[in-house]
Structure 1
Amino acid sequence: MSYLESLRVFVRVVELGSITAGGRDLRLSPAVASNRIKDLENRFGVRLLNRTTRKLTPTEIGRAFYDHARRVIDTLDEAEAMVSSFSGKPQGVIRLTAPLGLGRRLIAPLIPPFCDANPGVDFRLRLSDRNVNIVEDAIDLAFFLGEPADSALKWRKIADAPRVLVASPEYLAEHGTPRKPEELADHNCLLLRYPRSPEYFWVLQTDQGQQKMMINGRYDTDDGDVLRSWALGGHGIANRPLYEVSEDLASGRLIKILPEAPPLPAQFGCLTPHRRLQDPKVRMFADFAVRELKKIF
């Protein structure tokens, strides 16, 4: 492995806080990744990382070295992007992230046809319903439902994604069907929650305008697909994107609740770090994805 590749290993290990995670991100075993770090330390005769059984952190010189190494890699990536823009043949890795359900249903199917048309491009798709630090995790393109808050990122809107309240026929037969938003307080609402981003209310569109409904429920999870499965199992009322439950509604497995007062739609779009905007392969995939996804919404 070249010196430059060892730099990449070191940078990802620092950013992910783990030799195992950094190696995995670059498709290397922990042993190989550890050896790359040792090679750098032997080369310079300094310790770059402090290692304990629980934590890995850069030393003072390691932090300074990381800052320079990160700039070297960014400059190289920009140079490769410039060359590929002239050659017309995109090369390299695109790192994507998306929420779990959205990523499985809408984003993952887009990758094989794009790769078939662009054999020089590889993908790293990471799916999570938790907040992802796009800059620290070196993400090229993040698909996103909701309101983007980080002004350091470029937001490209794809569509408004309608949301619906749903429950199974079995749940409604046992617990009754809410006829007005206030009656949601008497039901088991299935909640999407994760650390530092709790969902304690739903905002519904009513004849009187937007109405914030405080809700309660015995179940919460950080996985939207689990919410859908709980709703299908008759355990409560879920607030889900329409694309996620459209087949369930058509088949009758789920019933739409309060259709006259639906939840606010979620903005659906993609976020790109400014330093990645000129990368042609990222721009090409973003254009391709937006074009295909607009056919759905």
Structure 2
Amino acid sequence: MSYLDNIRTFVRIYELGSMSAAARDQRISPAVASARITQLEAHLGVRLFQRTTRSLSATEQGTIFYEGARNILASVEEAEAGIGDVTENPRGTLHIAAPLGMGRRLIAPHMPEFAEKYPLVDVRLRLSDRKLDLTAEGLDVAFFLGRPEDSTLRIRKIADCERVLCASPAYVAQHGHPSSGAEIDRGQHNCLNLRFPGATEFQWFLQGPEGPVKYDVRGRFESDDGDVLTDWALAGAGIAMKPVFEIADDLRSGALVRVAEKTPPLPVQMACLYTHRRHQDPKARMFMEFMIARMETALGASDTA
């Protein structure tokens, strides 16, 4: 086992707080991950983690070593990035994250083409509608909808995505076709809500005649998976707020219809975040350029829905 591999495994265990999670992240077995830490501890002469059958936590020495280890890996990545700029043939592993709907529809379909164009780059694509910490989770690029909370990261805007309030024809036939957010706000409609960790209430910002209006909406169903909300809307369970690119086919086919057209939702920003480094990793830059070009094409096509 190389010393650098041991350090990489240590850093991922520290960041993820789990031996098994770090092993999955690095595509090794938990036994190999444990052996790497044992070897690293023997080399350093200190214990890096307190380990029991139920928990794992960094020691004081482990916390101190983490900061230096992370700097070591960053320096290695910068050195590799410099070589990649010269060779124009990037290699290595990219850790990418995206919301479920965006990842499934706008990123994953183009991965085979990217793999063919850049055969030496491996991609680990993580899809989740929860908010991710780019640095703590070891991500190179994170695509997102909305506004970033970490101002220390670099942001590249892709587009302002149109959103709609939608429901199935069956739901409209049974509960009526609201023309504005005010009708929904009266509590006569079931709103399908996307639940984020820490959310205590659900608010929809809609465009009124005199500007944006905030509505505190209510509903019987909520989920942290945006595609589940689409499935519920298709099944006639309620009204969902969705980016048009996620439901363009359903709008064209009539499986979903727009509601509250007088007060449409405000557009949502689509962008990607990446870490600020003196030399940006060329494979991360190439991945963003490749995917953004295809995402812009797909978003243009969805505008006709």
Structure 1 residue 284 corresponds to structure 2 residue 286:
yes
Q: Distance in 2 between matches of 1:197 and 1:102?
A: 21
Matches within 5 A, 1:84-99: 84-99=84-99
Secondary structure at 2:54 match in 1: coil
Deviates more, 1:54-63 or 1:70-79: 54-63
Deviates more, 1:198-207 or 1:108-117: 198-207
Alpha-carbon spacing, 1:221–1:36, altered in 2? closer, same or farther (3 Å): same
Moved over 3 A (4+): none
Amino acid at match of 1:216: R
**TM-superposed deviation, 1:136:** 0.7
Which residue of structure 1 aligns with residue 302 of structure 2? none
Structure 1 residue 21 corresponds to structure 2 residue 21:
yes
- Equivalent residues of 1:166, 1:239 under 8 A apart: yes
Matches within 5 A, 1:52-63: 52-63=52-63
**TM-superposed deviation, 1:175:** 1.0
Which residue of structure 2 aligns with residue 257 of structure 1? 259
Amino acid at match of 1:291: A
Which residue of structure 1 aligns with residue 37 of structure 2? 37
Q: Deviation digits for residues 148-181 of structure 1, max 9, x if unmatched?
A: 2211011111101100001011111111111222
**TM-superposed deviation, 1:277:** 5.7
Secondary structure at 1:79 match in 2: helix
Secondary structure at 1:274 match in 2: coil
Secondary structure at 2:298 match in 1: coil
Deviates more, 1:45-54 or 1:279-288: 45-54
- Equivalent residues of 1:191, 1:199 under 8 A apart: no
Q: Give the unaligned 5+ runs of structure 1.
A: none
- Equivalent residues of 1:100, 1:223 under 8 A apart: yes
Which residue of structure 2 aligns with residue 245 of structure 1? 247
Which residue of structure 2 aligns with residue 68 of structure 1? 68
Which residue of structure 2 aligns with residue 267 of structure 1? 269
Q: Distance in 2 between matches of 1:276 and 1:40?
A: 29
Matches within 5 A, 1:143-292: 143-185=143-185, 186-198=188-200, 200-275=202-277, 278-292=280-294
Which residue of structure 2 aligns with residue 129 of structure 1? 129
- Equivalent residues of 1:276, 1:282 under 8 A apart: no
Amino acid at match of 1:172: V
- Equivalent residues of 2:81, 2:279 under 8 A apart: no
Q: Deviation digits for residues 43-89 of structure 1, max 9, x if unmatched?
A: 23321101133321111111111111111111111101111111111
Q: Distance in 1 between matches of 2:264 and 2:278?
A: 37
Secondary structure at 2:37 match in 1: helix
Which residue of structure 2 aligns with residue 103 of structure 1? 103
Secondary structure at 1:296 match in 2: helix
**TM-superposed deviation, 1:276:** 7.7
**TM-superposed deviation, 1:199:** 5.2
Amino acid at match of 1:43: H
Q: Distance in 2 between matches of 1:227 and 1:157?
A: 26
User: Percent identity between the aligned chains?
Assistant: 51
Deviates more, 1:228-237 or 1:170-179: 170-179
Alpha-carbon spacing, 1:124–1:214, altered in 2? closer, same or farther (3 Å): same
Q: Distance in 2 between matches of 1:120 and 1:197?
A: 41
Amino acid at match of 1:250: R
- Equivalent residues of 2:15, 2:137 under 8 A apart: yes
**TM-superposed deviation, 1:198:** 4.8
- Equivalent residues of 1:163, 1:264 under 8 A apart: yes
Deviates more, 1:109-118 or 1:135-144: 109-118
Q: Distance in 2 between matches of 1:42 and 1:141?
A: 34
- Equivalent residues of 1:140, 1:276 under 8 A apart: no
- Equivalent residues of 2:179, 2:262 under 8 A apart: no
Secondary structure at 2:297 match in 1: coil
Q: Deviation digits for residues 96-139 of structure 1, max 9, x if unmatched?
A: 00001111111112222111111111101011100100011111
Q: Paired residues, what number? A: 297
Which residue of structure 2 aligns with residue 82 of structure 1? 82
Q: Distance in 1 between matches of 2:181 and 2:43?
A: 66
Taking only aligned residues, the RMSD between alpha carbons, in angstroms, comes to 1.3
Q: Distance in 1 between matches of 2:252 and 2:278?
A: 41
Alpha-carbon spacing, 1:121–1:68, altered in 2? closer, same or farther (3 Å): same
Q: Distance in 2 between matches of 1:238 and 1:92?
A: 40
